[in-house]
Structure 1
Amino acid sequence: MATDRAADLVREPDEPQRATFIELLFDVVFAFALTRVSQQLLDSIDAGRRIEWLPVAETLVLSLAVWNVWVFTCWITSRFNRLSATIHVTISALILGSLLMAVGLPGAFDDRGLLFAGAYVGSQLGRPLIIILALGNHPRRRNQVRILCWAVGSGVFWIVGALLPAPFRLLLWTVGIGIDFLGVLLGWPVPGLGREHNAWWRFAGEHLAERYQQFFILALGESILFTGLTYGDGQLTFGRTLAFLFALGSTLLLWHIYFYQAGKALPDAMGRADHPGRLGRSSNFTQYALVAAVLVTAVANELAINDPFGDPRLAFVAVTLGGPAVFLAARLRFEWEVFGQRSLALVIGPVLLCALIPVMLHPPKLVASIVAAGVLASVAAVELVRRKRAGRAEPAPPF
């Protein structure tokens, strides 16, 4: 029986690449989770002259945990047969765990720490455990055992941290999330089991690329929802309307810059990579940075819409210009991952945005939003002209 389950679980090369309906349902939960992350970040930004770094650090750790659950599940569905009963059970359990994480997220550093940490650890332990039981003695079982061992190690810090006050909780949870990401980088080495050489990971490249694209679209959708609700809940004044239009324009520009050439070519790049596992690992960090930048930009848009002609402070200017700067820097790395080259416009854009931060501390908030949108539009235009002259680039991943 275990042999039959293992044979059913192993993905065949000719299996369909498109995401299944249960994977899309899984993403719906993360739409809710992204909204909670955005709200957490919004609450973390001080309206005064200072940036409250402790709440921002807390939001960063929580967002990394949310991303980790999603991307680990994405890797599982790209390495195993997504139509098998085992994967359906796994994703169904993860839907519950992810929903509990989203519910516990706003109070994760208050009275809901144990709920958030328990749901996160349960998701990280349950996923490999279910697959281990289904694989039996199949060779792929070893890597899931390694992942489970590392999840147990990080889980100790998450659970113990949930029982301690907020400052100590942040410290232990930072160690916990650090262990999770270090495991990915090192291949989860375990005494007696060795480590997984992720250069040889076998991904369904088209499926993995599509999942990254879908999550990015999910983040953009959350940004549009955030922007629309903020604008609709207040008076439709000229200033708020102008801020809303520039917010929507910035979101569309983020979409265009992501998908133009590199975003569309990612599935092909996955297929051409000599070591798709290395490209998948590298893309993990790049895609997180891109999604995080979208969420930061959404928060900046809400702040501008709420008070377009208000006196800007460092916190507001930092997220308004910093969000697009991080996005362009991550998009620069994305360009390298797909084409093995870097664009000058994607280098200049982040530098220019950061240089403008001191200048934007004096004009009204709306001006900073307009400048951020202007830089994004300029980068998009330069990239469009460059690609038109050079012709369609062929993917050439450096992995």
Structure 2
Amino acid sequence: MTGKSKRNWLRAKGSPGSSRVTFLELFFDLVFVFSISQLSHALAAHYTPLGAAEAGLMTFAVWWVWIFTAWATNWLDPDKMPVRIMLVVLMLLGLVLSASIPEAFADKGLLFAGAYVLMQVGRSLFTTYAFKDRSASNWRNFLRISTWFIVSGVFWIVGGFLEHEARLIAWVIALAIEYAGPASSFAVPGLGKSNATEWDVSGAHMAERCALFVIICLGEAVLVSGRTFSEMPFSKLTAVVFFTGFIGTVAMWWLYFRFGHERAAHRIEHEETPGSLARQAFTYAHIPILAGIIVHAVAVEFMFSHPHETGNLGVMASVLGGSGLFLAGNLWFKGATSGRLPLSHLAGLVLLILLAFVALFIELYLAGILATLVLIFVAAWEYRSLTGPAVGETVH
């Protein structure tokens, strides 16, 4: 028997159920519930320009390791035992990564970097081996991806030995290398560039995987509201803040899932070059969506703890910035998958910018209410435009 006939760890593309999300993939995502919780708490606890930069870098890292695993399992079959073992090992490393987040820029920097590099390089090399004798184009593609992660991994590990700002700089360089990879088609001397036409991804699988990750992030926002509300003495004000945080999270859920998610899956399934569209719509456009939800969760914490505060530009930025980032991400995501920018989202961003001019003169909880009303306004406009007789929802 040939090696090709002995080893086949790939999904049977085109067969019934081949694009379904497996229970093991959902189990894998549980680790990232912990990651998102750690990120929001780290940002709230160290809410300074430097703390925000550190939390932002770790958010980019957590998203990158998750989305590349989602890309890999778009091809790999989690029902095959070697793939299952690989995902379980990634879960263990992901747990170490998540546990290291609060001290990633202190005593656990090397632990964070080591877990991250092992996840990225190990998964990529595994996928490269899985494609050997199965798909020459994808084998070369993951060989290129592995090369990029090995190069960036040097900066991650070196940064783990450095301290303070030096560590931050080294890790920023590492992330810059990794984020430039897809945009440059993973160009490697001697191996050339990847061709997006060869990325035969399942749009339905990618859309569902990213939707589940968004659910995880929204779940963290709900947990923050519930946990903080339960720990505080009851009052009319805490009830208002609790209700505001909850409705804001529901509005985010509606904006993402009512029209964006299913339309994206359908568009990619019928796209001539699905890989290229998936790279823009999922790999990159979901970053501000994720960041917006995390910042929103932090803003809810601040509204509970300092509801009457005024004049604090940084804290106010979390209230308006969470909604703004989320709308900007959805604007990008929906624009990429529909070919048009939703006018409702553009209007929402304009309203948030106008609110910024008066936000310093109003109390924090009132700013939270206004930001939530903007999200509701955008959701209502989009719903009316796409389901009713009104026109003008999108612009070229």
TM-score (normalizing by structure 2): 0.94
Cα distance in 2 between the residues matched to 1:20 and 1:226: 28
Which residue of the partner structure matches residue 191 of structure 1?
189
Cα distance in 1 between the residues matched to 2:262 and 2:205: 13
3-state SS of the aligned residue for 1:189? coil
3-state SS of the aligned residue for 1:357? helix
How far 1:193 moved relative to its partner?
1.3
How far 1:330 moved relative to its partner?
1.4
- The unaligned stretches of length 5 or more in structure 2 are none
Q: Are 2:264 and 2:334, in contact at CA under 8 Å, matched by a contact in 1? A: no
Q: Are 2:124 and 2:145, in contact at CA under 8 Å, matched by a contact in 1? A: yes
Q: Percent identity?
A: 33
Deviations 1:357-389 (Å, cap 9, x if unpaired)? Answer: 131112211110111011111111111211123
Is the counterpart of residue 208 in structure 1 residue 206 in structure 2?
Answer: yes
Q: Are 1:2 and 1:136, in contact at CA under 8 Å, matched by a contact in 2? A: no
Which residue of the partner structure matches residue 72 of structure 2?
76
Counterpart of 2:277, as a letter, is L
- The unaligned stretches of length 5 or more in structure 1 are 46-51
Which aligned segments of 4 or more residues in structure 1 are displaced greater than 4 angstroms?
390-393
Cα distance in 1 between the residues matched to 2:218 and 2:197: 31
Counterpart of 1:239, as a letter, is L
TM-score (normalizing by structure 1): 0.93
Deviations 1:244-285 (Å, cap 9, x if unpaired)? Answer: 101000000000111121222221111121210011100211
Which residue of the partner structure matches residue 49 of structure 1?
none
Cα distance in 1 between the residues matched to 2:361 and 2:91: 46
Which residue of the partner structure matches residue 260 of structure 1?
258
Q: Are 1:297 and 1:320, in contact at CA under 8 Å, matched by a contact in 2? A: yes
Cα distance in 1 between the residues matched to 2:12 and 2:78: 8
Structure with greater contact order relative to length (CA < 8 Å, sep ≥ 6): 1
Which residue of the partner structure matches residue 315 of structure 1?
314
Which residue of the partner structure matches residue 234 of structure 2?
236
Q: How does 1:104-253 map to 2 (within 5 A)?
A: 104-138=100-134, 139=136, 140-253=138-251
Cα distance in 1 between the residues matched to 2:6 and 2:139: 12
Cα–Cα, structure 1 residues 111 and 377, in superposed 2: closer, same or farther, change >3 Å? same
3-state SS of the aligned residue for 1:196? coil
Counterpart of 2:128, as a letter, is I
Which residue of the partner structure matches residue 48 of structure 1?
none
Alignment partner of 2:50 out of 47, 54, 57: 54
Cα distance in 2 between the residues matched to 1:286 and 1:130: 27
Cα distance in 2 between the residues matched to 1:382 and 1:375: 11
Which residue of the partner structure matches residue 45 of structure 2?
43
3-state SS of the aligned residue for 2:102? coil
How far 1:314 moved relative to its partner?
0.6
Cα–Cα, structure 1 residues 381 and 154, in superposed 2: closer, same or farther, change >3 Å? same
Counterpart of 2:142, as a letter, is Q
Cα distance in 1 between the residues matched to 2:86 and 2:45: 33
Alignment partner of 1:24 out of 7, 23, 26: 26
Q: Are 2:9 and 2:130, in contact at CA under 8 Å, matched by a contact in 1? A: no
How far 1:311 moved relative to its partner?
3.2
How far 1:85 moved relative to its partner?
2.2
Counterpart of 1:123, as a letter, is M
Is the counterpart of residue 34 in structure 1 residue 36 in structure 2?
Answer: yes
How far 1:312 moved relative to its partner?
4.7
Cα distance in 1 between the residues matched to 2:326 and 2:15: 35
Q: Are 1:36 and 1:106, in contact at CA under 8 Å, matched by a contact in 2? A: yes
Counterpart of 1:206, as a letter, is A
Cα distance in 1 between the residues matched to 2:370 and 2:3: 60
Cα distance in 1 between the residues matched to 2:12 and 2:147: 24
3-state SS of the aligned residue for 1:338? helix
Query: Could you say what the CA RMSD is over the residues aligned between the two structures, in angstroms?
Result: 1.8
